[in-house]
Structure 1
Amino acid sequence: MRDPYPKDEMTHPMRDDTAPDGPLRPDRLSDGVRLLAPDVVMTPEGPMERYAAVVAGGAFRAVGPAARLEREHPGLTPVRLPGHVLMPGFVDAHHHLTQSFGAALAFGEPSEIFRRVWVPLEGALDEESAYVAAKLSALESLRGGFTTVADAGTRAPVDTGVVAAAAGDAGIRCVLGLVCNDADEGAGAPGKGGPAVLAAAEAHLARYEGAELIHPSLAVSVPEAATAGTLGATARLAAEAGAVVQIHVNEHLAAVERSLVRHGVRPLEYLREVGALGPQLLAAHATLVTPAELTLLADAGAAVSYNPVASAWKGNAVAPATTMAERGIRFGLGTDGTRGDAFRLADAAEFAQRLAYGLATGDSSCGAGWSWLERGGPGGADAVGLGALTGRIAAGAAADFLLVDVSGPEMRPSWDLPWELVRRGNRDQITAVFVAGRLRMWRGRPVGWDDHALVQRAAELAEEVVARAPVTRAHPTSTQARARSAAR
């Protein structure tokens, strides 16, 4: 059969040489006032065709019908973006930026690997390796369509400024946690650093006030890692500063059981008792929640980071996200450092709900597609405390956005764009990533710095760090497991 589209006749609406007013190049999207005219703009009201956006000073100055914006801004030459969608950048509501060197060490491992892998690994970092590890994570996140990440705090023996510098140099917006643990995580014994911990927390919140890309946050690893007084005090400090407190809550059976034995109540119930449950709480995971605990979250106005990939890789359950949405519980999507691909995260969020809850109840919608884009963008921004700043394409919001190529076979023909982006979208379709109005990534490569050099240095440092870190794995690597299987 003759190919109906021979190579010399094929047209690609998104190719650089087909833009009606010249090739689509990075310099045409550089800093300055720009009027961007894609095929579709993903607004808070849904996808809008023949819409445009004016970007200036790091923010959206106007969003609306392209014809109207062109009349209102006659001095601007529209940048035509055929075959593109302009959509909000994704928000990773739960990350560990300095854990990138050990990502694959967690594969095939049982729950609560923080004791055996993450604490030893981060403890072996120095300033250079912590910086490179964090920047490597930021690079992966930007490549995957995330414009904001919430870092839950590092245990590396370095100043948080190291992580802030890495995120800022990469060009990603970061909600930066400061770990405020003052008790032994295993025994729950009070520590001696309570006052010092709180003084450091106040200094951290003040340190980044007014910073463009770094937004301070407080963090407690798990409820038993801080004394009751510190849990309550960090909640008050964060609430006063308009920040969030990130705590891993109800993630694993062992953690729930420890709380029951030690306090007679479950982790979320304990946080309520000590005054740490409120709108400032960003509860990471919340997979093992009872109906009563869902009510606690809803009544308190607390937010949740729903981390579906982490649940599949090392969890004991999947958070009931569709139920949370129905109950009005605020939540976003988080990677937990598993992989930095926002479209795959949105797909996993829907897929996990379908397998865990939808199939058993006959729910064939499981969020109807749009829910996962909503929670990946504006819902995530709200969960991490930045809802007034980012996560939406609207006048006044920070210009944190993606240009996504939807001209390929994954999206044509198109019948339901939100569903298609969730089910069939991938990071290879991301043409450009903008944070605070600046072009940060172009076709998977950073603008203004050498990613290849970073990756090479990361590989060198990771080998050194892992060699000196007392990491303990419960299972063999995949190649070792295969060899053992073959031997049997």
Structure 2
Amino acid sequence: MTVLWCGSVLLPEGWAREVRVTLADGRIVGIAAGVAPQAGDERHAVVIPGLPNLHSHAFQRAMAGLSEVRGPAGDSFWTWRDQMYRAVDRLDPEDVEAIAALAYVEMLEAGFTRVGEFHYLHHDRDGTPYADIGELSARIAAAASSTGIALTLLPVFYAHGGFGGAAPGHGQRRFINDVAGFGRLMEAAGRAIRDLPDAVLGLAPHSLRAATAEEIAAILPLTDGPIHIHVAEQMKEVEDCLAFSGARPVDYLYDHAPVDERWCLIHATHMTEAETQRLAKSGAVAGLCPITEANLGDGIFPGGRFAELGGRYGVGSDSNVRIDAAEELRLLEYSQRFSQRARNVMALAAGASTGRLLFDTALAGGTQALGAQALGSQVLGAEAGIAVGRPADLVSLDAGTPSLHGKAGNALIDGWIFAGGAPVDAVWRNGAKLVEGGRHQARAAVEAGYRRVLDKLAG
């Protein structure tokens, strides 16, 4: 049993001062507000729930900073994708695990306590399945186990290189499965995560480019967990979908799949007003990755309008070019300010804290998108916070940093997101303290493994 005495804690009913929070067996088992600390209590200034990271391609962390040189004919998402394919060609299972471990360490240090791993790297370098088709899923599970992050594993179905069932390209050979092979992969992925605490298994048709409507229908019965799909990330995708079907991607998806609250539409950047309404009304989550979307030049999600419609959203680190929970939320708001030439767009109502609304919505949306509700989430309806019976997945902010000095209540969240700095001090996941003084307990060993991979890739 661990007891934290906290100066400020975010509870479902709001902020409370001088709170003792008791942790046992991975859960919050006691909360007492307005009390003095007792001998043996760990003291922390500000404690909030950990955030879900709803979209990650962990292996792409090794590409960070290596694709920032302009090509001879201009750069785009599609030229970046070619670079990613070349990087994939060189990764062995040990490399995948080492890269994922560093990404997960950095997520925990940034305030993410659960990750949705959109996992589409399945096979050996020549495209041949490993003897265990779930070899690389097991490597992702091992990285989650060694770092302590909660895992929602989303094995990706990828069969084609373009709309209409086009043949895949050479660079996609490590991703490809047919429906039968994907069924075996899902079974192996289930075995891989079986012993992880609070693990969730969903699935992900990669995109409408990579999976036909018929294939999506065939794989949906393989899980009762969450379903994720990339959609409408790039204008070329919209144009290609129109040429293939006469419909835009989001409309095509809703016309051909039973999209509901189990679904998470990743990016959904380029939507019409009608598509935006359709997504908001369905209860599905928009999976937004503002840092990656900016890095790849994807465009700006219609966040203000989507929020007005009551749409649900969460954030993810996607390509992992930079892993920072606060920055994802900050850039989401700032992208709306750029596009609308206004301030505090996502807050909607006068007097509302933009940071608090972003945090609460991302916590609720990410929890839903990663299938964590059944585990007893940090969200009850619209009430985000720390409560008895909920997971002991907590983040302590360092109130000694200038960005939080003199702030209280919702201004603490606003300071964390908008005032800069790196005030994450400690992180607990499943009741275990994994980050202290801003540093993960396994960082040194994990970082050494990651450096070995980078040296190999550079050789």
**1:400 paired to 2:393:** yes
**1:421 paired to 2:411:** no
Partner residue in 1 for 2:165: 188
Higher alpha-carbon deviation: 97-106 or 149-158: 149-158
Query: In structure 2, how many angstroms separate the alpha carbons of the residues matched to 1:364 and 1:326?
Result: 8
When residues 282 and 442 of structure 1 are mapped into structure 2, their CA distance, relative to the original with a 3 A threshold, is same
% of aligned pairs identical?
A: 26
Partner residue in 1 for 2:328: 345
Partner residue in 1 for 2:282: 300
| Structure 2 residues not aligned, in runs of 5+ | 70-74, 124-134, 168-175, 379-384
Partner residue in 2 for 1:39: 7
Query: In structure 2, how many angstroms separate the alpha carbons of the residues matched to 1:106 and 1:378?
Result: 33
* Deviation (angstroms), 1:88: 0.8
**1:354 paired to 2:337:** yes
* Deviation (angstroms), 1:408: 3.1
Match of 2:58 among 89, 97, 118: 97
Contact 2:163 2:244 in 1 (8 A): no
Match of 2:359 among 352, 373, 387: 373
Matched residue SS, 1:184: coil
Q: What is the RMSD of the two structures over their aligned residues, measured on CA atoms?
A: 2.6
Partner residue in 2 for 1:458: 450
* Deviation (angstroms), 1:155: 1.5
* Deviation (angstroms), 1:361: 8.4
**1:229 paired to 2:208:** no
Query: In structure 1, how many angstroms separate the alpha carbons of the residues matched to 2:77 and 2:15?
Result: 40
| Structure 1 residues not aligned, in runs of 5+ | 1-32, 71-75, 468-488
**1:387 paired to 2:373:** yes
Matched residue SS, 2:407: coil
**1:49 paired to 2:42:** no
What letter is aligned with 1:232?
Answer: A
Query: In structure 1, how many angstroms separate the alpha carbons of the residues matched to 2:251 and 2:220?
Result: 15
Query: In structure 1, how many angstroms separate the alpha carbons of the residues matched to 2:244 and 2:346?
Result: 41
The alignment of Structure 1 onto Structure 2 pairs a total of residues equal to 421
Partner residue in 2 for 1:152: 118
Query: In structure 1, how many angstroms separate the alpha carbons of the residues matched to 2:420 and 2:28?
Result: 25
TM-score, with normalisation over the residues of structure 2? Answer: 0.84
Partner residue in 1 for 2:93: 127
Query: In structure 2, how many angstroms separate the alpha carbons of the residues matched to 1:208 and 1:184?
Result: 29
When residues 364 and 218 of structure 1 are mapped into structure 2, their CA distance, relative to the original with a 3 A threshold, is closer
**1:442 paired to 2:428:** no
Partner residue in 2 for 1:174: 151
What letter is aligned with 2:6?
Answer: P
What letter is aligned with 1:437?
Answer: G
**1:410 paired to 2:393:** no
Matched residue SS, 1:225: coil
Matched residue SS, 2:203: strand
Query: In structure 1, how many angstroms separate the alpha carbons of the residues matched to 2:193 and 2:449?
Result: 28
Contact 2:428 2:434 in 1 (8 A): yes
* Deviation (angstroms), 1:231: 1.1
Match of 2:268 among 286, 309, 321: 286
When residues 425 and 215 of structure 1 are mapped into structure 2, their CA distance, relative to the original with a 3 A threshold, is farther
* Deviation (angstroms), 1:385: 1.8
TM-score, with normalisation over the residues of structure 1? Answer: 0.79
Larger Rg: 1
Match of 1:433 among 427, 433, 458: 427
Query: In structure 2, how many angstroms separate the alpha carbons of the residues matched to 1:77 and 1:188?
Result: 65
When residues 210 and 279 of structure 1 are mapped into structure 2, their CA distance, relative to the original with a 3 A threshold, is farther
When residues 326 and 443 of structure 1 are mapped into structure 2, their CA distance, relative to the original with a 3 A threshold, is same
Cα shift readout 1:193-214 (whole Å, capped 9, x = no counterpart): 2222234335534653573153
Partner residue in 2 for 1:479: none
Query: In structure 2, how many angstroms separate the alpha carbons of the residues matched to 1:160 and 1:166?
Result: 10
Query: In structure 2, how many angstroms separate the alpha carbons of the residues matched to 1:283 and 1:460?
Result: 35
